[in-house]
Chains A and B, each alone.
Chain A
Amino acid sequence: KQEVTQIPAALSVPEGENLVLNCSFTDSAIYNLQWFRQDPGKGLTSLLLIQSSQREQTSGRLNASLDKSSGRSTLYIAASQPGDSATYLCAVGFNKFYFGSGTKLNVKP
């Protein structure tokens, strides 16, 4: 069974800082990996999807990388803003999607 771990569980940074969120998974035979953000009490918003054949994807200030061999993905957020405050979830596409528990990010003005 696939296990997905996200570190740290919570992160608080001042506005403007660059930051990295980590996601690791136990079985490298994945077909894709997806990063989401979730605002309190709401559904998930898809940020980036990386296919297993890709190494990274970029969207605006976000960059996600994938290293299948080591079972890791990182989400890099440049020049963080208070509006980035949310819980960030990674989901690994295996025989189905497996989710991590998330990293709760707080960006202080």
Chain B
Amino acid sequence: ETGVTQTPRHLVMGMTNKKSLKCEQHLGHNAMYWYKQSAKKPLELMFVYSLEERVENNSVPSRFSPECPNSSHLFLHLHTLQPEDSALYLCASSQAVRDTQYFGPGTRLTVL
């Protein structure tokens, strides 16, 4: 595997479910990001981790909970989501916070 991978690629969940999105980077980078891309809206930064510490939490609701166990893995834990949370969730990584970002293919999330 090379670059940034995300699993699952598609996820459908009910409002009462708990699920997790996984991101893995094989680039030796120190920073990782979660973004949300909704239809007809600009990409929104959700969370930034640098050297496994959260350095940015962009006013994201608590029903989204990130976890970064090491510099190669990033999770987004989801619980009691709303239909408006349906979107493409993108993970990215960079060598350092201000460097070129490399994106994964995204997880298409649908909340029923």
Contact = CB atoms under 8 A, between A and B. Distances in A.
Interface string B71-105: 00000000000000000101010000010111111
Interface stretch (B11-19, B38-46, B61-69): B38-46
A4 interface: yes
Find the residue from B4, B6, B42 having the highest chain A CB count within 10 A: B42
Contacts, number: 48
Interface residues of A, number: 22
A42 B56 contact: no
Interface string A62-73: 000000000000
Main secondary structure of the interface of A (DSSP, over half): strand
A91 B43 CA distance: 9
Given A4-B42, A96-B56, A42 B100 contact: no
Interface stretch (A12-20, A44-52, A75-83): A44-52
Nearest to A97: B45
Given A31-B98, A41-B108, A43-B90, A96 B103 contact: no
11 contacts: A41-B88, A41-B106, A43-B106, A44-B90, A89-B43, A91-B101, A96-B48, A96-B56, A99-B42, A100-B42, A101-B40
Interface of A: 4, 31-32, 34, 36, 41-46, 49, 89, 91, 93, 96-102
